[in-house]
Amino acid sequence: MKKLFDTPLKAVISTLCIVAVLAVAVLVYISRGLIGQTAAENAALADAGVSVSQATALHTGLDHENGKLCYEVEFYSGGQEFEYRIDAKNGSVLKREISGNPTAPGSAGASQSASSASDAPAASDAPAASAAAPAERVLDADSALAIVLTDAGMNEADVTVTKNKADYDDGVPVYEIEFHTSDTEYEYEISAADGTVRSKEVEPYRAAR
């Protein structure tokens, strides 16, 4: 054992090996009794009433929710975004968040059905309506934060902002904003075009240990 640490280089290499072995041991221990990624995905899809073939951009990973080990499952279907937290031990739904506008069954998409030729008026001299242009990002991050704080009845000085990210949701420019007080956590998604609150979630805040 002494020979493993008799030079600085050997000491470093030996330490790294020990850390790697411990990390593998911890992962093996943690993985015991977990339902597995596939079972977590099936639980989320079943709760959402979505089949595997209907889900796109399916992503799953291990996470924590209120101190519990869970699977984070995210996917898109029918014009909506689904985010689930599934208990890694028993497969129960710990948390669900659904945002976006559902596409009508049997339609080829909202924009296509809205401009269907069968709904067009009789021939006239007016030029045909052009397809709607994608929404533009009008708000900046500070304005977006001010909107959600007002909605929550909070002042910036009274909260800790942990996320204020520009993103896109089904092609719509949005801001994803998260903040918390000493006892409450807020998660928002708002339109970056007009400040409309698209989704909002409020839950007890538990500081990471």
* Burial letters 69-90, b for 16+ CB under 10 A, else e: ebbbbbbbbbebbbbbbbbbee
Say if residue 88 is in the same domain as residue 46: yes
Say if residue 147 is in the same domain as residue 195: yes
pLDDT surpassing 80 at residue 175: yes
> Average pLDDT, stretch 46-70?
85
In the listed set 45, 78, 100, which residue is the last one of a domain according to the structure? 100
> Which domain, by its residues, includes 160?
134-204
- Percent of the chain residues past pLDDT 70, beyond the cut: 69
> Average pLDDT, stretch 50-65?
86
- Percent of the chain residues past pLDDT 90, beyond the cut: 31
| Res 159: pLDDT | 94
Say if residue 141 is in the same domain as residue 95: no
**Is 160 domain-assigned?**
yes
**How far is residue 44's CA from residue 152's CA, in Å, rounded to a whole number?**
29
Which residue has better confidence, 23 or 57? 57
**Is 27 domain-assigned?**
no
In the listed set 75, 100, 125, which residue is the last one of a domain according to the structure? 100
In the listed set 81, 100, 119, which residue is the last one of a domain according to the structure? 100
**How far is residue 6's CA from residue 84's CA, in Å, rounded to a whole number?**
51
Q: How many CA atoms lie within 13 A of 16 on its CB side?
A: 6
| Res 1: pLDDT | 57
Phi, psi (rounded to 5 degrees) for 160: -115, 115
**Is 162 domain-assigned?**
yes
64 falls in which pLDDT band (50, 70, 90)?
confident
Give the residue among 187, 185, 192, 189 at the shortest CA–CA distance from 141.
192
Cα 27-32-38 angle, rounded to 5 deg: 95
| Res 32: pLDDT | 62
> Average pLDDT, stretch 130-152?
80
Query: Residue 77: what residue type?
Result: S
117 falls in which pLDDT band (50, 70, 90)?
very low
> Average pLDDT, stretch 83-106?
80
DSSP state of 208: -
pLDDT surpassing 70 at residue 171: yes
pTM to 2 decimal places: 0.40
CATH number at residue 95: 3.10.450.40
| Res 78: pLDDT | 85
pLDDT surpassing 80 at residue 173: yes
**Is 72 domain-assigned?**
yes
**Is 126 domain-assigned?**
no
Count the domains in the chain: 2
Largest CA distance in the chain: 94
- Residues 44, 86 contacting (CB under 8 angstroms): yes
Cα 171-173-175 angle, rounded to 5 deg: 135
CA distance from start to end of the chain? 35
